[in-house]
Amino acid sequence: MYKKKSLFITFEGIEGSGKSYQCQKLYKKLKKKKFPVILTREPGGTLGAEKIRDIILQDYFYKNKKNQFGKYTDTLLYLAARNEHVENKINPSLSKKKIVLCDRFIDSTFAYQVYGKGVKKEFVDYIHKHILGKAKPNITFLLKVKLSKAIKRIKKRKKRNRYDKFSKAFYQKVQNYFIRIAKTKKKYVILDNTKDTDETEKIIYNKVIKYLK
């Protein structure tokens, strides 16, 4: 039997890992079973945070690099969006004992901005200390994937944004860091999502249901 309690689940991974797809599949399954679940994403998730997301994405389409944001400006925009998201959606939902599924969260900031672009970890940690509150994931599913497969999936997308335009070497660097993060705590579940089967979907659902019982 389901014990009504808040649950915060995040999905992490590089582009083409299938994290968004798996997040949506879990949402549909839980919704069908009448669980009090919401689906959200980062950057974004609220009206204000989505506006910041648009600014972030627009910046990376400027051809002149001199007009692009510096790495700290970029990071601050992500963190501003997170503050809006946490304050107005995530924490209120958790307070109401809801299950929150989030496509990307703080691990993406560490993997992309800190490790990938060289932003100081202490800088991000300091801001997180003031904005996260109770927003700490209970489970984080990290979906890893072979780079060749990830690239194939990205190329099939009808619409692409800044996340789909990094080099193969950068994706590999970021994925390695994701895996390194995931090996530090029990809340992480690392799954190889290279093959296009429903096996990953089943594992994720069963782990979540087990947690809820």
pLDDT for the residue 167: 76
Find all residues with CB under 8 Å of 19, minimum gap 6, and list them: 11, 12, 13, 103, 104, 141, 143, 193
Alpha-carbon Rg for the chain, nearest whole angstrom, is 17
Find all residues with CB under 8 Å of 26, minimum gap 6, and list them: 9, 101, 201, 204, 205, 208
- pTM value is 0.91
Q: What SS3 state is found at 101? A: strand
Residue 56's identity, in one-letter code, is I
pLDDT for the residue 59: 61
- Alpha helices by DSSP H, listed for the chain, are 19-32, 47-59, 71-85, 91-95, 106-108, 121-131, 147-155, 168-182, 199-212
Is the distance from CB of 147 to CB of 19 less than 8 angstroms? no
Integer Cα distance of 46 and 37 in angstroms:
16
Is the distance from CB of 99 to CB of 6 less than 8 angstroms? yes
Other beta carbons within 10 angstroms of residue 29's beta carbon come to 17
Q: What is the pLDDT along the chain (213 residues), one digit of tens a residue?
A: 566 788 999 999 999 999 999 999 999 999 999 999 999 999 999 999 999 999 988 766 555 666 678 899 999 999 999 999 999 999 999 999 999 999 999 999 999 999 988 999 999 999 999 999 989 999 999 999 999 998 888 888 766 656 666 778 888 999 999 999 999 888 999 999 999 889 999 999 999 999 888
- The total number of residues shown for the chain amounts to 213
| Topology of the domain covering 7-212 | Rossmann fold (3.40.50)
pLDDT for the residue 185: 87
pLDDT for the residue 171: 86
